[in-house]
Structure 1
Amino acid sequence: MANTPEIAFYHAPNTRSTGVRVLLEELGAPHRLHVLNMRAGEHLGDAYRAINPMAKVPAIRHGEALVTEQAAVYLYLADLFPEAGLAPAITDPGRGTYLRWMVFYGSCFEPAVIDRHLQREPGPRAMSAYADYDSVIARIAEALKPGPYLLGDRFSAADILWGSALGWTMGFGLVAPDPALSAYVERVRGRPAFQKVAAADAQLAQAHEAAAGTA
């Protein structure tokens, strides 16, 4: 990868981009970190909207490629560094399962969790992207039952996404605590890359709070 363009990574601490920072660490991917202070509204400025008009993180720029949306960033990076083994190859039978869980988070899990939290009806089943909340949680539990990871013994980028997602949703009480899900989160978050990023993000968050006068 020595001759490839540098990866520019747009990040804010304690957001959905934290998992991408973990992924970059797991991949050993050289990158330039661009930190946005969301407390100061930096993500809403014209400079960042030129990167992502939705004013969300994460986003990456790699040469001429600009990638936004969480799952797309994960997929792009994991495929960019195949030697790290965090994404099954196109010809690998596990590729389908991997892609399913990379997409299931944004298309089913997060909408179901937010609707449940806001006490909103999901709409008619035929029109709902996720069917119903209980089915979504049941499918996740089923996928993790064989363990220890979504692809069995193989740790992948999908586990970074789901370890982060289940951790914050259970942590905020959006998803009911479950022994199997909690054990999975602990297993994923116990990895050195997660520990390193958690410490670094805590420092960034503290600096942002101090800058905003809320520390």
Structure 2
Amino acid sequence: MAALLVLGTPAVVALPATAVHAQSSDLDRAVTALRGITTMKADFSQTDRSGASVNGVLTLKRGGKIRFEYERGTNMLVVSNGKSLYLVDYDVDQVQRWPISKSPLGALLDPSRDVKQYGKVVSTGNPDVVSIEVRDKDRPEFGAITMIFVRDAKSPGGLKLTHWVALDAQNHRTTVRLRNHRYGVAVNDNAFTFRDPRRSSRRPR
């Protein structure tokens, strides 16, 4: 996610009423856009803090379900079943798990809670681009996420999520860019299970 900007001045600058209203409206539109996605598939490109990139296909389904299917040669999987987010590394036979609420992706997977409660609009200088930063100031260990939308009448809520920048508790930055969005596609809940590589269990989670 985008780096957090800390202003080193105690002065408080009041925004014009029209600007405050516009920001509130954009936040509402972002929540509407995310909640309007029943299912979505999109191609993604993920870039880490070192600049290394990997591609794949993202599948999203209402109810907090998401799957990052990485390209051939990347033996890992990120998947959420609506309750927990899993990072599955088949190279080392390991599985890491986080409750959705403790992941930066929580704002994307549960927009009705995280975006409205912890989100704020970040000015982009472009009326067609909406940037929403979501973080819980009282729980910095949960990380943060900045989601970027462009106005698009064909997308749910009139906004298309083009990319996001995630910052985890260790300040590791990951950028995910989306393209070729497909809305309303048929997605079976089996898409949000995985083969457990640990020897103690081979059953899908």
Which one scores higher on RCO, CA 8 angstroms, separation ≥ 6?
2
- Name the one with the larger strand percent: 2
- Name the one with the larger helix percent: 1
Query: Normalising to structure 2: TM-score of the pair?
Result: 0.25
